[in-house]
Structure formats: C-alpha cells, structure tokens
Structure 1
Amino acid sequence: MTTDTETDVFEEHRPVLMGVAYRILGRVADAEDVVQEAWLRWSGADREAVREPRAYLVRVTTRLAIDRLRQVKARNEAYVGPWLPEPYLTDFGDDVPDTAERAVLADSVSLAVLVVLESLSPLERAVFVLREAFGHPYADIAAMLDRGEAAVRQLAGRARKHVDERRPRYEVDPARRRELTEQFLAAAGGGDLEGLMALLAPDVRLVGDSGGKSRAPLRVLETSDKVGRFLIGAAQKGVPDVSFEFMELNGGIAVVVLSAGKPDSVFQVDIYEGRIQAVYIMRNPDKLLSLVAP
C-alpha cells in the first residue's frame, strides 16, 4: 500500500518526470501516460532498494519513454502532412530561478529543437535530453540506460552534432518575440499583406500540422510571398466566434486561437535578426486537448 509520504515524494518529482518524458516523446498525452506508469512502478517498488528516489524515478521514466517512442515512431509513418510536437505549457516558476538554466530548459522544448530531435534514434534522443536539458553526468545516464559510459558519450556526441547541424538559429528574447507576434497577428487578421510581408524573412517557412483532421497545408510552405498570401487567405476565411489568448508554450509566446472559447489552433513564430523565420500552426484537434481546461 502506498503511503502519503511516498505519494508526496512522487508528486515532488512529477514536474521533472513530465519534463523528461515530454522532451523524449514530444507528445503530452504519451508523456502523461509514461509518468502514470512510472507512478505504478514507484508504488510497487521495494523502498529499501531505492536509495535516491529522484534518480530511480528519472531512470524508470526514461526507459518507459524510450519504449513508448519506439511504438510512436511506427505509428507516425502513416501521419498525414507535416508533424509538430504537441503544444506544451511551460511555466518554470520559482523552481528554476537562474536565467541561464531557464534558457536551456526553454530551448529544449522549443518546436525547432523538438522537430530536429524527431530524426534521432530513441536512445540518442534520451541521452541528448538527459545530458543537454537536465545536465546529468554521463556516468548517471549510463546507469539509467544500462550502457557503458563510453557508449553514452558517443551517443551524446552524435546527437549533439546532429542537432547543431540541423537546428536553425533563432533569437529567444521574450519581449521582441511578443512584439513581433502581436504585429504578426494584427497584420494577418487585418488583411495587411504589405505589413505582413515586412515582418517575414524572404526564406520564411510555414509548418502546419493538422494530421489530416482540419484545414492546413499538407506540405511545408516556403518564401515570404507564399507564406504571406496563405496567412491572409486563412484569416479572411475566419473562425466562428473567434478570440485570442497569449500563452507561453514550448518556451516561448504563442497565440491560441479560440472558437466559441475552445482551442481551434495555435500559432507560434521564431525570429532571427528582427524578422520572422518560421511560422508554426497546430490545427490537429487531438493535439490541442491539453489546452482545454478540465
């Protein structure tokens, strides 16, 4: 039988476990399932054999997430259109007071990074997350994964090189990102193509994820002309009883488009040198469920 103290210990570490699981999986529902399974393992564990609860729980969660990711990758082969991770509400609160640490955690859940992580193997992704986002020593990661330390270092190096080569360069200044997001929303919503084009980089990319369940581009759009005209056209079609809410998702400001108070889509932009370099649109209703208030 699980005691109140054991429950309190698990709840203390739940945010970290959710953070690990989401970064490995990029899916809120799957991450929540993994954390729930970790709870079941914890409730049945031999307490005398668990010297460090946090290390034990991170190890269990990581292994469960790797197994789940292998299953998910097989499902994704039939996914319709571009894939984006589920929107993830990020509020690091007072638990992460250091600005540099906050920046690392925010970057590790950014859409740009998570999209790149999709191309890693499950083991590479887990090692990258544990090392780069949470700063675990190589020896600890090796113990978690039942691998030699040399092998883990090799996995980490390969993953780091892959991410560095493919991750676009973006600015993360929150104030500037908020400002450009507001200007972007005003220009698109007001049908101001000229104003919108002034915000977009010439080689801007638009990635829309609908999973084939709502209207969104079934391929990545490129160039400011194509992206601008698409956004103006989409805004003109409108959303019934529309309203907007700004939220911090995946480490940055995002616009949640509501229809009659329910999430219809999520817009987020990445910027570099004062221009919008990427536009992400989430319209898969299944991936918006985590934004619905219980």
Structure 2
Amino acid sequence: LYADRVGVEIHAVLADPAPVRNLDMTARASHLGVDAIVASPVAAGLACLSAEERELGVAMVEMGAAVTNVSVFIGGMLAGLVTLNHGGADITDEIASVFGIRRAEAERLKCFHGSAITSPRDHQESLDVGPPGDPSQAERPKITRAQLNSIISQRIDTMVADIGRALKEMGFSNPGKHHVVLTGGGAELKGLADHMQAALGRMVRIGRPTELPGLPDAHSGPAFSTMAGLALYANSNPSDLRLGLQGSDSAIKSTNTGVIARIMQAIRENL
C-alpha cells in the first residue's frame, strides 16, 4: 500500500488483485452490500492508535492466526506495510508437533499456561497434556511449564527476527524515537510484549480498541482491534480500495458518509 498525503487516500498496489475481488463477489453473492474495502492495518490503527501516534510515527504489529501485518504510520496515515506468512497458529502447530498432541489441546496449553518469557518457577510446575478422559491412556502425560514456554519462545524468536527485518526495510530503524504497538489475537499471549521489547530494543505496548467507547470487556481486547476499527472506519467517510485495484488514480468515496446519512437515506427509501 502507499499513501497519498494530499488526498489521504489509500490505494492498493497488488500484483494479483483477484483475492480482493473474490471477497467482494462472495459478499455480494450472499446478498450483502459492500460499501468499501479497507486494509486490516488501517482499521486496526484507527481503533488502537492515538491520532498523535499516527501523526508522529509508530509501528504496529498485528499478529493474527495465519499472518502478521507489520505496518508503519507517520503523518497521520499508513506509510508502509509488510505481511509475514506466520502467526499465532504457527506457535500452536509447533507445540502440537513437539509434544505429539492434538491442535485443540496445544491451543489450550498455549492460551492458559503458555508465556513468551520464562521464570525459574516454570521448572517446578507440571502440566497435563492430551485430552482428559482419553481411554487409550491410563494416565495423562506431563510436561513442565518450562518445556512449554521454551517451545513458544523459540518460535517467537523466529517471528520477531522477521518483524525486525520488516521494520528495517520500511526505514523504521530508530529505537529511541518510535515505539511499537502490538495488537491482534496473537497479542493475547502472556509476556509477548516484554519479549518483543527486549528483542527489538524499543518500547512495545499492547494495543486495544480504546477509540470506540462502550465495548463490553469481552470485546475490548487486542483480538478485536480490527473489528472495532472497521466500525470507526465506516463512520468516517472512508476511501475504497477497489478502484485502486482497477488502476484508477483516485479511490472510490463512500456515498454514505456516516451513520446519520445512512439513516436518512433509509428513511427516504421507505417513504
């Protein structure tokens, strides 16, 4: 993606725009209207970054299940984006592979007992692996929390190295000047921000959707940043990426500029 400072419009520069068009067509085939298509980091940035951060410069790492988006905001807009083809699911798969357990059980261990940082006490705590009540096993095998966290830390080290290279490619190389905001479902992992801060040598904080008041506690974590940002984006006279995919010089502007306009249009259509 690249940003046009004059129009503050986001355009898609993709070698293969077919996936985006397919998503658009799929939604329409389900009798749903598509008002606009927006890149996930733009939406998440609206929800968990302050206007001052986006203006002065900040990096955002959005860790999902399958991909991790590393983006840079400066001058109030998205200035760079690199997508890495790994995420939280890769950590789950690594746990399942090493301990020979099902993915569901590996996910449970990661979420409830896993951490990106270790402590001496981890060697003293035993964890049951394998599903409870399995008739094929008289007793559930055990591992230590230290073994679990070691696998998690090794996988995260690989991911953080790729994140560091992506930031360097985008010119985000001054540790003392800018910080990193970590969001997405993968940011729920205990100790991840501290681990990443030590590895990258810059301040890292967890980004939650603070810009949308009234969210219940269950939906106010970093996993919901993009969803909250989409709601904010839809109410802000957004730019549409689809015309950029067709090679135009300007993005499609939504004709419904905000909640009030959409309500008024609905009233007129039903008179």
- Shared fold per TM-score greater than 0.5: no
Normalising by the smaller structure, the TM-score range is under 0.3
TM-score by length of 2: 0.27
More helix by share: 1
TM-score by length of 1: 0.25
